[in-house]
Structure 1
Amino acid sequence: PVEQWRILKVLSDGEGHSMGELADAVLLNHPTLTKMVDRMVSDSLVYRRQDAEDRRKVLMFISDRGNALCKRLNSLAVSQEAHILENYGGKATGELKRLLENLIDAAS
């Protein structure tokens, strides 16, 4: 699912993110995010680790397997964007991106 890709994309920075930070970044509510992350942990795409500075806090990280999947999905997205650009032109594609970014900003 696209939501999994968004989670992987955020975690690919290697910084480690709390569930709250992740929920805000990927625009998912906490229960939905928790279920999705649990599945991703089961699939060895991500893992949880206790924060070294605050042991009450749990951080999420991307695994090597998750990183490989994220790179593959990023490559597919770039290919799809090139296809859209080729078929619809730069102006229409730019307008579509702008509208989608406005929609995302309005949702957050």
Structure 2
Amino acid sequence: MVDGDNFATVHIARPSGYSGCAVRMTIQLDNDDFYWLACGEHISFRVPADKQIIVSQTTSHVADHVEIDTDKGEEFFFENDCNGFACWLQEVKEARFTKLLNRCGPEIKIGY
């Protein structure tokens, strides 16, 4: 639960056009299912500041778990990418993330 303005923001993009786009990816927060991410989606959500949180995506082939240490006002940017066999989640710089948005629909804000 986010309290007032004491939060960090997580952005995840899954650009359209990748192989493997027929399947939605399960995004998890602290190992609990949070959102089914489809191709072409860009989501953002707030997480409590001053905590360590695990952001992950799962498929039948691989599970990626990225630990982030959140500070108030901080933003995290992730790309969900696929090749023909597996998908993965990786943290990217804001400039790369901005370019990915050309292949995504409008931002989906979750919980705010």
Structure showing the higher helix proportion among its residues:
1
Is this a same-fold pair by TM over 0.5? Answer: no
**Which has the larger strand fraction?**
2
- The structure that has the greater radius of gyration is 1
User: Higher RCO, 1 or 2 (CA under 8 Å, sep at least 6)?
Assistant: 2
